[in-house]
Amino acid sequence: MANVVEIGSYKIGDGKFYVMAGPCSIESKEQFADTAEGVKKSGAHMLRGGVYKLRTSPDSFQGLGSKAFNMATEVKTQLNMPFISEVTDPRQISDLLNVVDVFQVGSRNMHNYDLLKELGKTKTPVLLKRGFSGRIEEWLKAAQYITAGGNKDVMLCERGIRTFETATRNTFDINAIAYIKQNTDFPIIADPSHGVGVKNLITPVALAAAAAGADGMIVETHINPSEALSDKHQALNLNEFESLMLQIKRVLNALDRDLA
Amino acid sequence: MANVVEIGSYKIGDGKFYVMAGPCSIESKEQFADTAEGVKKSGAHMLRGGVYKLRTSPDSFQGLGSKAFNMATEVKTQLNMPFISEVTDPRQISDLLNVVDVFQVGSRNMHNYDLLKELGKTKTPVLLKRGFSGRIEEWLKAAQYITAGGNKDVMLCERGIRTFETATRNTFDINAIAYIKQNTDFPIIADPSHGVGVKNLITPVALAAAAAGADGMIVETHINPSEALSDKHQALNLNEFESLMLQIKRVLNALDRDLA
Amino acid sequence: MANVVEIGSYKIGDGKFYVMAGPCSIESKEQFADTAEGVKKSGAHMLRGGVYKLRTSPDSFQGLGSKAFNMATEVKTQLNMPFISEVTDPRQISDLLNVVDVFQVGSRNMHNYDLLKELGKTKTPVLLKRGFSGRIEEWLKAAQYITAGGNKDVMLCERGIRTFETATRNTFDINAIAYIKQNTDFPIIADPSHGVGVKNLITPVALAAAAAGADGMIVETHINPSEALSDKHQALNLNEFESLMLQIKRVLNALDRDLA
Amino acid sequence: MANVVEIGSYKIGDGKFYVMAGPCSIESKEQFADTAEGVKKSGAHMLRGGVYKLRTSPDSFQGLGSKAFNMATEVKTQLNMPFISEVTDPRQISDLLNVVDVFQVGSRNMHNYDLLKELGKTKTPVLLKRGFSGRIEEWLKAAQYITAGGNKDVMLCERGIRTFETATRNTFDINAIAYIKQNTDFPIIADPSHGVGVKNLITPVALAAAAAGADGMIVETHINPSEALSDKHQALNLNEFESLMLQIKRVLNALDRDLA
């Protein structure tokens, strides 16, 4: 039977559809709070927001780091929403444990086994993104680095793979959603934002993921995408997010499922 | 405005969802007729069936060739369903013109420009499959080889691309469905059978394609998949096909669309 | 024992290194003659020159077609050099048979089995380029489409594969050179021009192919690359070609081999 | 001008060819010492040997860890050879600093920017392997994470990329050797062992890399490959390594270069 991951009162993998939304990076108290309120109003269940960012170039914005901790804590407490954020270094774990309800392991770290082993020693759920060139088999073995340590609360996240195609940022592997669902016990979360990386295409890809059986999705949303400090080309604004949620609900209902 | 391709009374690209179904190869009159009746009963609009097959190995079954012409003509006439079949060589065109209502250009021939030019001189609609390593940009230019000759009735077909992943036969590029829909005038047809190549995963991938906005799908269906002479691992039986059609209809309805 | 392909007095696969050189396309009598004389002076054994070109866009130069036949025949006769040119359509074979000493099957046609079958009925050697996304196993099966017809004179040509890398046009698969040499009986020819597609990198890649054991190479060379009608960014001029030949000879000698 | 990385009396990038050899993992004092003596006799300049291993599965051998420190120190001191070993976690750096002369960053960690930043604070040279799906541009930006911290002593290492080909373990990107040499100031080291991953093909790929201009190579060598605890299918034995060195020298000489 499929593994259910409990986050507060939520049970990811129970058949309902769970939505994590928020900005790529926490940029300021106001930016995070306003975005969070907006996504909550449209039905999001959990908040995402980057504190430590992994960027290809050392000259790009690297996240606010620990300065964002208080902002995150205030907002999530006020809205009573679980908070998920990325961990990029084993040495961040002890501090992050005070702030996050779910650890996100980014695509670049699927193979960072030392990090995964440390997360396996915690009791906090982990969202393990697929490496952008990770085979499904390797992804499942990476998950075992966490579960072998005693932490069974692993959710997998498909976020697009690297292919020869250049018209989109990545190639969202819809097959993987169906494969994971049928062949493993892990809940599978879709990340259409990175999966296609082109704003206008995020909604159809998200609907596709829901139709294929995903247990939820994580979506980059920003109060003002054109001013975002990272991933501005793939963040939905609050209206777009609201519209997406309405359509997702209809697709889920058509297949006898529902938003949580 | 999007281009609408007329096939008999059907207008592919008009917003409705069109379904082409049938066996990978026509193997016998009975096999083709029984499959065709079955898929018609479940709501398929057009029949597919290979006459000339392109197989990786010269030792594999290569299709019945012209022997299948009479079988195809009898069945399609009796059921009053348009027939689509693959053309692999310019020298086949004149004969196939008497049998097919739509030419299918297979993935291996997306770059066969001499073939495309010849099809551009006909007035018969063409379903142009994406090369398994064709970039979207190259696919659109291949389509121009047909339209430049005067034949504007081109439908594109996403059938999965070649990636590093080995758990599935190909990687169905769901992003491409959304991209083609938003950025071109060509109708876009999904081929979930080749797109994932694993029987149990075809239905979720087909539902995903419908949710992402595809104008239709082409699905390998067989009266008895375990005895199919080609692609036996990815053919649906008639019950599975019927179940798929019911779910597709519900997803389409949820998004204010419908089967044709 | 390795298969030796005889072309005039040459025996490709006998351990010596054979060089085919010339322009991407035959553009005029003068352009082809001048380039041909130049490459002969530097030690090339055979002439290449496109007559029918496969171009991604229908608006690009498509080759002179049959108008180039007389030019090619005159030049190859005068210089007494075998001539290799690409065939893209079964209907071209009978005419090309009067002109070419070797048929080239381009990367886009590795999967064009109808074409391969027709070439298998001739007695003219075939240079079968690897599809840019063809697995080695598929390449070998494509070769069988030719040999099954009775024509055993097949040479394989590695010309770069499609990957995620964008800094070079293709990724030259040096592993494939070594693999084919050790595991098959076919001679293996390197095409560094397409394999890397960046002029300054062609010489090191060609040297690498020779060091890895290739039986020869095919190199795009032009009397005036900046004015070439196709592939201008990857054609060597005559000085660069001469320099390449001198270095190739030294690398071959170091490994107890030599130019033919 | 190209950057020269000093390791003891060696100056990598000065035009000479440098060879790092040794086992994938240090398994015992005897195994490491015997292999080390063997490769030194054949002309290797530096020793490689894994202490912390990153393995796809948590059930595979993970290296001896700190237990190998004394073995490594004894052997490298006795033979007076610099020692290179992989670092996989920022918390290992302080201990490894006492043992290694060069830090190796493995393919899975090219994107582990927290690790790279820490290495940038040391004064120890770093061999930065290319991520198996890293674009050249991303690789160079990863190198900047190290150099931005003040440590300019970075060597790049091409170790094969992930493609659709399955006949070899990876696809060695020979183009990248030529590209890095011509377009950057970093020394470029070839890793033919991982680059092809099939024992019989390592020598031709290594020769190719030398011919293409690599500044050196790192080669897995084992006193008894069939009993190796990791990478047994791609380790050369001492005879094979000796033969490789003799051929490398001849290819280098042919191009007016030499082993250091």
Per mean pLDDT, which of A220-224, B53-57, D52-56 is the most reliable? A220-224
User: Taking the alpha carbons of B7, B9, B12, B13 in that order, is the dihedral positive or negative?
Assistant: positive
Tell me which chain B residues have a C-beta less than 8 angstroms from the C-beta of C148.
58
Residue D78: pLDDT band (50, 70, 90) is very high
Tell me which chain A residues have a C-beta less than 8 angstroms from the C-beta of C163.
164
Tell me which chain D residues have a C-beta less than 8 angstroms from the C-beta of C178.
196, 201, 204-205, 208
Provide the shortest C-alpha distance from residue A66 to chain D (in Å).
15
Check pLDDT > 80 for residue B1: no
Tell me which chain B residues have a C-beta less than 8 angstroms from the C-beta of C109.
111-112
Average pLDDT value for chain C: 95
Number of other residues whose CB lies within 10 A of the CB of residue B150: 10
SS3 per-residue string spanning chain B: CCCCEEECCEEECCCCEEEEEECCECCCHHHHHHHHHHHHHCCCCEEECECCCCCCCCCCCCCCHHHHHHHHHHHHHHHCCCEEEECCCHHHHHHHCCCCCEEEECHHHCCCHHHHHHHHCCCCCEEEECCCCCCHHHHHHHHHHHHCCCCCCEEEEECCECCCCCCCCCECEHHHHHHHHHHCCCCEEECHHHHHCCHHHHHHHHHHHHHHCCCEEEEEECCCHHHCCCCHHHCECHHHHHHHHHHHHHHHHHCCCCEC
Provide the 8-state DSSP code for B148. T
Provide the shortest C-alpha distance from residue A80 to chain D (in Å).
32
Check pLDDT > 60 for residue C83: yes
pLDDT digit string (tens) for C142-169? 999 999 999 999 999 999 999 999 999 9
Residues A229/A26, Cβ–Cβ less than 8 Å: no
What pLDDT was estimated at residue C230?
Answer: 84
Check pLDDT > 70 for residue A1: no
What pLDDT was estimated at residue C205?
Answer: 98
- Region label for A255, one of left (φ > 0), alpha (ψ between -120 and 50) or beta (otherwise): alpha
pLDDT digit string (tens) for D91-138? 999 999 999 999 999 999 999 999 999 999 999 999 999 999 999 999
State the Cα–Cα distance between residues B126 and B103, nearest whole angstrom: 5
State the Cα–Cα distance between residues A44 and A23, nearest whole angstrom: 13
pLDDT digit string (tens) for C104-144? 999 999 999 999 999 999 999 999 999 999 999 999 999 99
Residue C175: CA count within 13 A, CB half-sphere: 29
Check pLDDT > 70 for residue A2: no
- Report which of residues A60 and A259 the model is more confident about: A259
Mean pLDDT on A196-217: 97
Tell me which chain B residues have a C-beta less than 8 angstroms from the C-beta of C138.
56
What pLDDT was estimated at residue B61?
Answer: 82
Name the 3-class secondary structure at B220: strand
pLDDT digit string (tens) for B147-165? 999 999 999 999 999 999 9
Provide the shortest C-alpha distance from residue B162 to chain D (in Å).
7
State the Cα–Cα distance between residues A48 and A230, nearest whole angstrom: 14
Name the 3-class secondary structure at C208: helix
Q: Please indicate whether, in this complex, the C-beta atoms of C213 and D200 are within 8 angstroms of each other.
A: no
Provide the shortest C-alpha distance from residue D40 to chain C (in Å).
23
Share of chain C above pLDDT 90, in %: 88
Vertex C13 angle, CA C11 and C18, to 5° = 70
Alpha-helical segments (H) within C42-158 = 68-79, 93-96, 113-120, 136-147
Number of other residues whose CB lies within 10 A of the CB of residue B38: 20
Residue B164 forms contact with D (CB below 8 Å)? yes
Q: Please indicate whether, in this complex, the C-beta atoms of A89 and D57 are within 8 angstroms of each other.
A: no
Q: Among partner residues C88, C141, C145, which is closest to B114 by beta-carbon distance?
A: C88
Check pLDDT > 70 for residue D2: no
What pLDDT was estimated at residue B55?
Answer: 79
Here the tokens at position D120 are 């940038």
Tell me which chain A residues have a C-beta less than 8 angstroms from the C-beta of B110.
none
Vertex D82 angle, CA D81 and D88, to 5° = 140
Q: Among partner residues B173, B204, B250, which is closest to A171 by beta-carbon distance?
A: B173
Check pLDDT > 60 for residue D1: no
Q: Among partner residues A179, A201, A253, which is closest to B254 by beta-carbon distance?
A: A253
Residue C211 forms contact with D (CB below 8 Å)? yes
Name the residue of chain C whose CA is nearest to D211's CA: C208
Q: Please indicate whether, in this complex, the C-beta atoms of A171 and B179 are within 8 angstroms of each other.
A: no
ipTM entry: 0.96
Check pLDDT > 60 for residue B72: yes
State the Cα–Cα distance between residues C169 and D175, nearest whole angstrom: 10
Provide the shortest C-alpha distance from residue A177 to chain B (in Å).
9
Tell me which chain D residues have a C-beta less than 8 angstroms from the C-beta of A90.
89-91
Provide the shortest C-alpha distance from residue B13 to chain D (in Å).
34
Residues C135/B56, Cβ–Cβ less than 8 Å: no
10 Å CB burial of residue B80 (0-12, 13-18, 19+) is exposed
Q: Please indicate whether, in this complex, the C-beta atoms of C111 and B109 are within 8 angstroms of each other.
A: yes
Residue B139 forms contact with C (CB below 8 Å)? no
Check pLDDT > 60 for residue A259: yes
What pLDDT was estimated at residue B11?
Answer: 98
Residue C2: pLDDT band (50, 70, 90) is low
Residues B52/B10, Cβ–Cβ less than 8 Å: no
What pLDDT was estimated at residue A71?
Answer: 94
Provide the 8-state DSSP code for D105. E
Mean pLDDT on A104-114: 96
What is the helix (H) or strand (E) element at residue C248, kind and residue range? helix C238-254
Number of other residues whose CB lies within 10 A of the CB of residue C184: 16
Whole-model pTM? 0.95
What pLDDT was estimated at residue A149?
Answer: 96
Strands (E), chain B: 5-7, 10-12, 18-22, 46-48, 83-86, 102-105, 126-129, 154-158, 188-190, 216-220
Check pLDDT > 80 for residue C54: no
Check pLDDT > 60 for residue B170: yes
Residue with tokens 């595809």: B214
Residue B259 forms contact with A (CB below 8 Å)? no
Provide the 8-state DSSP code for A173. B
> Of A197-206, B47-56, B92-101, B218-227, which gets the smallest average pLDDT?
B47-56
What pLDDT was estimated at residue A98?
Answer: 93
Backbone phi, psi, residue D117, to 5°: -60, -40
Check pLDDT > 90 for residue A153: yes
- Region label for C171, one of left (φ > 0), alpha (ψ between -120 and 50) or beta (otherwise): beta
Q: Please indicate whether, in this complex, the C-beta atoms of A112 and D113 are within 8 angstroms of each other.
A: no
What pLDDT was estimated at residue B2?
Answer: 66
Residue C166 forms contact with A (CB below 8 Å)? yes
Restricting to D residues 59-118, those with a Cβ less than 8 Å away from any Cβ of A are 59, 88-91, 108-109, 111-115, 117
Query: Which of A185-200 are b and which e, b meaning 16 or more Cβ less than 10 Å from the residue's Cβ?
Result: ebbbbbbbbbbbbbbe
